[in-house]
Structure 1
Amino acid sequence: MERIFKIKTKSNKDPRDQYPSERRYSASIVIGLGVVYLQLFFYSILMGTLIVHRMTVSTTEELIMINETGTFNESFTQESITRLNEKLSRDLEAAETQNAPYYINIPALVCGGCFVMALGYLLSFFTAVLAWKHWYVDQNITFFFLASSFSTITSSISLLLSVLTCINMNVDIEKFNNITTESVPLTLSLAVNIVILSAVGLTWSCLATKVAYKGMRSSYPDDMFVKGRGTVEVSTTRKGSKNANIFPPDIISHFPVTDKLAKYLPRKEDNDLPKAESNLEYRQRVDQFLNGGIEDNEDIDNKENKDKEDKE
């Protein structure tokens, strides 16, 4: 009965088994990060566009209201002055309350944060495409690291602005009857969406920055070397064959004889194996072999001569 032992070992992957673009940093991971950056860019543009649209709609509604009453063409009439006084008194009353920060053009600040955040995501996407397509240029991964760091800063700024907006957004619509949710440029639901977008963008930017930093700091394997201007070239010289004949180690000899597994292992008998010989014994054995071959040749020649004599 034979015992079969299976030994599993874990080691790093052989660089020769990987693509050249996956040896210093994974180009496929970088392009995946870039695709997500592109999606975050579109979402940021969408949020900023919604804020701009609501600000434009609220201003247009006021102009339409004035035009319907006939005061748009008649400048400085009594009715227009009355509306202006009412608006001023309403703004002063709102400034005395806790909702004053909302009227310091906070929607414009949040909108600017969205567009700046979108700019960081767009730069990160373009640098990710460069680091994926032209992986052999050493500077591309550095550009991706810088763009990811910039997107991290912009996401942090946008997250801070949106969180402060959600905290300070406590507009009492019942007290101010002229203020409606349709005329407010920045609602609570829109601000919460911007908070979620900024938090996801900040997390993704930190992850991309970490990946880019590791790729920027890591070195190339032995079969790759850096040429001038930061380009990389792969050496085609093989240092060794992957399928070389490697003698397996003698695992059985590592087990001590006194161990419990010794009874299951085959016994080694020294009588069946040839003993080691010295140099002198080896030379004697070779000389005997050579002398024996010469004597055999002489016997063959003698027999041939005798056969010829008998025929004659």
Structure 2
Amino acid sequence: MKSVVLESAGNVKIEDIEELGDIPEGYVKIKVQSVGICGSDVHYYLHGKIGDFVLRKPMILGHETGGILESGSASIKRGSVVAVEPGIPCGKCIYCRTGRYNLCPDMRFFATPPVDGSMVEHIVHPEEFVYSADGLTPDEASLAEPLSVGVYAARMAHLGPDSDVLINGSGPVGILTAFAAESYGANVTVVDINPERIEYAGECGFSSCINNKVSGQFDTVFECSGYGHEYSIHRTARGGDLFLIGMGEEEGINPLMASIGGINIHGIFRYVNTYPEAIRIIKRYRNRLAPFLRKHIDVDELPGYLADGEYEKYLKTIVRI
């Protein structure tokens, strides 16, 4: 069974691994079709770690997964397109028991060391974290994972009609957060320092510009760049809410400015119960999501693709397994 294995930083290989055995009760078998390359996949490839998550042994990459259900489900028809939520929480800790399973300290999340990811021909996964995506292609279904981050953030922000929202960072998560915010009725402005990224946001139908062209303040700001904390806090109105989504620098928040301005700062980590809503948003905006689906490569091309840095040229690259 073909798989994409990160052996060590800068060293990824296509390897054959053993076929799956029996399917445990409560699990389903999925033929993986499409896996989006995430910034975390690239970061592990380049550096071998993200914060405290360190690659200590070979690991299969990938967690943005769309596939075809092969067997095991009582609620989803065999042969259906499915989106796979990549985390398996323990279900027992205080965070799981209070509905915040994204904070579970024992979460087993695809392609987060030491847990293998989904860039492999077949996976088995708990049925409760597999969702029907009928009407979508596997490529489209793979977008449910990064979009879920935006859905969770928009939900936590209690957005509604006429909410004015600024999104700093027009990479994949930033633009998908813009779709989530718009789906709640918000007026969305997307900024970035990269003109090419700004073009993607505009092509997806959002008001967008280089960040120094925006001088006003917003009641809700989503920091999606991972590096623009100082800019984002300056753009947050007094008494407003700043949501930290992008993962990058470990420093950058001015606590004095937050205190004087009465700014509420929220950390956003993954998501909770978002997949059905994410799938509905993909169906609603599927034409505008076209820039996310333009670049796809065969799994055998991936080692050279990562080595050459080709992924930097596209808004999203989807690996066909």
| TM-score higher than 0.5 | no
More helix by share: 1
The structure whose Rg is larger is 1
Looking at both structures, which has the greater relative contact order when contacts are Cα pairs under 8 Å and sequence separation is at least 6? 1
Q: TM-score, normalised by structure 2?
A: 0.17
